[in-house]
């Protein structure tokens, strides 16, 4: 199964594609679509849509998982994020792919085991689950990979097909992880 994860943003949209055989996860691609703040907002949205369309054609995932909108104090930021999510979802639908949405708490729970985990804990577990030597950069890419891993761990069709979707044995518990400097 191949899952394309998206962490939407109006200035930086993270993306990451993960492939799994049911027991081991492998990174296909990850990165961020960065739009200049000097670019008009509609042009930024067009850039996000074009780049995601290209990436979805190249990666050929089975589905797209996207982070759901969270509650925000700043209404303007929430609206811009909603627009970015909309063009990301449009790119997926135009590619004929199912779109699944997960809240930040669901993503943290699926990746770390705790719905209120810190960002550093999520990033560290992404690194461990994918067998990487370093946390994916920028952080938006790591977040998008976490969204994809969340779907892999939550996918009912995979479980119904008898695939055991479990983390690699060398991954440690999130409780044991401590960010540098603490």
Q: Are 89 and 50 in contact, with CB atoms under 8 Å apart? A: no
Residue 43 bears catalytic tag: no
How much is the pLDDT for 168?
A: 34
Q: Across residues 18-25, what is the average pLDDT? A: 91
pLDDT averaged over every residue in the chain = 87
Q: Which of 11, 62, 67, 101 is catalytic?
A: 67
pLDDT at 178 over 60: no
pLDDT at 70 over 90: no
DSSP annotation of 162: T
DSSP annotation of 39: S
- pTM for the full predicted model: 0.84
Q: Edge-to-edge strands of the sheet including 2-7?
A: 25-34, 12-20, 2-7, 63-67, 99-102
In tens, the pLDDT along 150-167 reads 999 987 444 555 544 333
- Give the CATH class of 2-176: alpha beta
Residue 67 bears catalytic tag: yes
How much is the pLDDT for 167?
A: 36
Residue 7 bears catalytic tag: yes
- Long-range Cβ contact pairs of 129-133 (< 8 A, separation 24 or more): 129/25, 129/167, 129/168, 129/171, 130/18, 130/25, 130/26, 130/27, 131/24, 131/25, 131/26, 131/168, 131/170, 132/27
């Amino acid at each position: 199964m191949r899952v394309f994860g998206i962490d939407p943003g109006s200035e930086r949209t993270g993306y990451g594609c993960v492939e799994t055989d049911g027991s081991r996860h492998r990174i296909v691609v990850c990165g961020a679509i960065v739009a200049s703040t000097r670019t008009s907002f509609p042009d930024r949205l067009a850039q996000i849509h074009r780049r995601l369309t290209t990436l979805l054609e190249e990666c050929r995932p089975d589905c797209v998982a996207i982070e759901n909108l969270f509650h925000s104090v700043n209404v303007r930021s929430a609206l811009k994020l909603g627009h970015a999510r909309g063009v990301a979802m449009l790119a997926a639908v135009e590619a004929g792919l199912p779109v699944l949405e997960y809240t930040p708490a669901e993503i943290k729970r699926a990746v770390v085991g705790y719905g209120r985990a810190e960002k550093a804990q999520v990033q560290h577990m992404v690194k461990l689950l994918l067998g990487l030597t370093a946390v994916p950069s920028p952080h938006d890419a790591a977040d998008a990979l976490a969204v994809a891993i969340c779907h892999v761990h939550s996918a009912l069709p995979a479980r119904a097909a008898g695939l055991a979707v479990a983390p690699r044995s060398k991954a440690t518990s999130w409780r044991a992880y401590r960010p540098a400097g603490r």
